[in-house]
């Protein structure tokens, strides 16, 4: 039997590689599934009703914050407030939910970037997460804006840029491939001029733009989001993948990352 004929496991966001076309791998119970190879084919995902916390593994009736049980959402370092608002990070002052975790996630080089999709957005990621972060967000291209020593400083730069740019992706427009016509290099230059000198020192001199192509045969004209909280089975012809969304040929889209920890079977 083909090992990919019927596999089950807890969903986690798809693994990605930057190639001529972004490559996606879904891993269920340690078995990698080449999702690019499934484009143009009918797939079925079936949710068995079980949700496991992505931090501790315990069964939970409801997922919080993208895959946590409530105790982990409240206490786990991965769910710290500074994940959403990096300017609130205090790891550089020795304060964190878990300093060992903070040393490898908050107190390492951070990248402030500009990404082009429905608009130009500003975001933050660890240097080790490029270009994964950009692919996960469905960016058409991206550029490194600044390199900073910790998450707190990255947050200061992001807050300054948010006076001029958004920090969110319009996911419906992203999935319809409605991309703003804008020059990232020119935007980087103009945003640099808005910074105070203490932050401007971190602006990266490399203006290389990373372009990303996605494995999509057909973009939806209208976006209809579906999920396992309302239906146990989702089946259809896979028309493409962008961001962390599976795109079906009837305008339905499924956000894999939203269902972190959900136990599903794929066939």
In a domain, 240, yes or no: yes
Range of the domain at 243: 7-62+216-266
What phi, psi does 178 have (nearest 5°)?
-90, 95
Judgement on whether residues 143 and 191 belong to the same structural domain of the protein: yes
Residue 29 lies in a domain: yes
Distances (CA, A) of 172 to 23, 35, 177, 216, 264: 21, 21, 9, 15, 25
**What's the pTM?**
0.93
Consecutive sets of 10 residues in the chain, 267 residues long: mean pLDDT of each?
Answer: 68 96 96 97 97 96 94 94 94 95 96 96 94 96 98 97 95 96 97 96 97 97 96 97 97 97 96
Q: Where are the alpha helices (DSSP H) in the chain?
A: 70-75, 81-84, 99-105, 132-136, 151-161, 171-175, 184-192, 197-200
Q: How many domains does the chain have?
A: 2
Q: Tell me, yes or no, whether 207 and 220 share the same domain.
A: no
Quick check: is 246 in a domain?
A: yes
Task: Tell me how long the chain is.
Answer: 267
Same domain, 174 and 257: no
Q: What is the pLDDT of residues 101-116, one digit of tens each?
A: 999 999 999 999 999 9
In a domain, residue 106? The reply is: no
Which pLDDT belongs to residue 5?
55
Q: What pLDDT is attached to residue 153?
A: 98
Q: Which of 211, 237, 257 finishes a domain?
A: 211
Model pLDDT, residue 26: 98
Question: Residues 264, 47: contact at Cβ < 8 Å?
Answer: yes
Residues forming beta bridges with residue 148, ordered by sequence position: 110
Structural contact between residues 90 and 112, judged by C-beta atoms closer than 8 angstroms: no
Are residues 203 and 221 both part of a single domain? no
């Amino acid at each position: 039997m083909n090992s990919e004929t019927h596999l089950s496991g807890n969903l986690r966001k798809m693994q990605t590689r930057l190639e001529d076309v972004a490559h996606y791998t879904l891993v269920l119970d340690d078995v990698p599934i080449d999702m690019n190879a499934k484009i143009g084919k009918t797939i079925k995902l079936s949710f068995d009703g079980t949700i496991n916390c992505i931090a501790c593994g315990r069964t939970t009736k409801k997922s919080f914050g993208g895959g946590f049980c409530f105790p982990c959402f409240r206490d786990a370092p991965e769910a710290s407030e500074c994940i959403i608002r990096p300017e609130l990070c205090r790891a550089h002052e020795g304060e964190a939910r878990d300093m060992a975790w903070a040393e490898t996630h908050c107190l390492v080089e951070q990248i402030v970037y500009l990404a082009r999709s429905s608009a130009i957005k500003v975001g933050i990621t660890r240097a080790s997460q490029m270009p994964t972060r950009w692919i996960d967000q469905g960016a058409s291209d991206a550029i490194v804006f600044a390199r900073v020593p910790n998450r707190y400083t990255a947050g200061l730069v992001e807050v300054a840029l948010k006076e001029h740019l958004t920090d969110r992706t319009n996911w419906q427009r992203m999935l319809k491939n409605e991309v703003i016509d804008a020059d990232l290099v020119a935007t980087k230059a103009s945003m640099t001029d808005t910074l105070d000198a203490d932050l401007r020192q971190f602006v990266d001199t490399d203006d290389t733009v990373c372009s990303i192509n996605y494995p999509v045969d057909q973009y939806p004209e209208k976006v209809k989001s579906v999920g396992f909280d309302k239906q146990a089975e989702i089946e259809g012809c896979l028309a493409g993948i962008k961001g962390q969304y599976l795109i079906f040929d009837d305008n339905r889209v499924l956000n894999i990352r939203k269902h972190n920890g959900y136990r599903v079977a794929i066939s």
